[in-house]
Copies of this chain bind each other. A is one copy, B any other.
Amino acid sequence: MGRKRLQESADGRPTVHTVAARAGVSIASASRVLNGVGGSPETIRKVREAAAEVGYVPNAIARSLQSQRTGLVALAVEDIGNPVYVEMMRAIESVVAASGRQLLVHATGGRIDNETALLRRLAHRYVDGMIVSPIRVTDDHLAALVDSPVPVVVVGQLPADAPVDNVRTDSRTGVGLAVDHLVAAGRRRIGFVNGPLDTVPGAARDAGFRSALARHGIALDERLVEIGDFRYAAGRAAAERLLARAEPDALVCANDLIAVGALHALLAAGRRVPDEVALVGMDDTELAQMTFPQLSSVSLGSAERGRRAAELLLQRIADASLPPRREQVAPSLAVRASSTTTPLFVPAPAEPAPAPRTPEVTA
């Protein structure tokens, strides 16, 4: 006869039945003891003993099918090599962990199909909810987001009427902060190294740069604008192209990875930073403090956005009927050595220095 109700699972590992049989009790009693609810002292002893002997470990999948939850939350980002996502992830992780859940990260590689596939697969109940930070948003993508089977919070720009929880920043204004700072420092030939214009952040930053220059009455020289992608190598290459045909006295970069690439290009070309060319990155990641000189960078509050996104998600998991919410985090500028010309080898002034700063690289 076919196995009717054996005591072990298909792959030979122990189940509640194994434990129950061994302890000489029903599976209900076994289950209760294993979950710490009820059971006479004697039963508890027997079950615990049996469980230990067979090395019982509960099947989380089965448990989830029953409880309708997995205790898992996912974060989908484009490029896990970008430190901005690391910061965001850390912030999310701490919130998620505090709720007794576990955070899983999935790198989509920026391929939209990949991201929608994720929503259509992983999200189909493997996780209790997910936070996704899409770099491009198509209608298809948006549709998948909207009728996701599990709660979703989007970090990043989204159409105004999209009924999805959303935490955003204003990178357009953020770029403006960088330009204002540089203009105030007397720079006029300000260059811009951006990522692809067909991405949401790329388009926003481009608009921000142009409007900021206009606001200051500076005519934009298109030779001072160059585009790569949002990674180091392309940023460096783009900066090299720009430097080969123009002479900026400042460079704004669409993120810190690009800025580090640009810094490399500048130093390799013999330009002194910040004396000849000031440099401002964006995202204000760890990376900005690793370079020499350290990078000024526009903070888009990635940790804060992550934290808020996690909170929104947990709230929605708890109550699916909540209306779609939208939160915004304001950008700010972290000024460091890469955009601050200071007198060198000059005795410290009697008044306290404006801010602790590492020495300049130039002599």
Residues of A that sit less than 8 Å from B by CB: 10-11, 13, 55, 57-62, 64-65, 68, 70-72, 74, 80-81, 83, 86, 89-90, 93, 102-107, 118, 120-122, 124-126, 147, 149, 232, 260-261, 263-264, 267-268, 270, 286, 289-292, 320, 358-359, 361, 363
Contact = CB atoms under 8 A, between A and B. Distances in A.
23 contacts: A10-B68, A13-B149, A59-B65, A60-B124, A60-B125, A61-B125, A62-B125, A70-B126, A74-B104, A80-B86, A80-B89, A81-B83, A81-B86, A81-B90, A81-B286, A232-B289, A261-B290, A263-B292, A264-B291, A264-B292, A264-B358, A292-B292, A361-B361
B286 A60 contact: no
Given A62-B65, A64-B61, A102 B118 contact: yes
Contacts of A261: 290
Contacts of A83: 81
Contact of A290 (B62, B121, B264, B320): B264
A61 B126 contact: yes
A279 to B, nearest CB: 12
A245 to B, nearest CB: 20
Nearest to A71: B121
Tell me the dominant secondary structure on chain A's binding face.
mixed
Closest 10 CB pairs of A and B: A104-B104, A60-B124, A105-B105, A267-B292, A61-B125, A81-B86, A60-B125, A61-B64, A268-B358, A59-B125
A217 B321 CA distance: 73
A57 B106 CA distance: 21
A107 B89 contact: yes
Contacts of A59: 65, 124-125
B57 A80 contact: no
A263 B292 CA distance: 8
A363 B270 CA distance: 10
Contact of A104 (B62, B90, B106, B361): B106
A267 B89 CA distance: 31
A149 B287 CA distance: 39
B57 A120 contact: yes
A317 to B, nearest CB: 12
Chain B CB within 10 Å, residue with most, of A126, A286, A291: A126
A68 B121 CA distance: 16
A71 to B, nearest CB: 8
Given A72-B122, A74-B104, 11 more contacts: A13-B149, A57-B149, A58-B124, A80-B105, A89-B107, A102-B121, A104-B106, A264-B290, A264-B358, A267-B292, A268-B359
A258 to B, nearest CB: 11
Chain B CB within 10 Å, residue with most, of A70, A107, A286, A290: A290
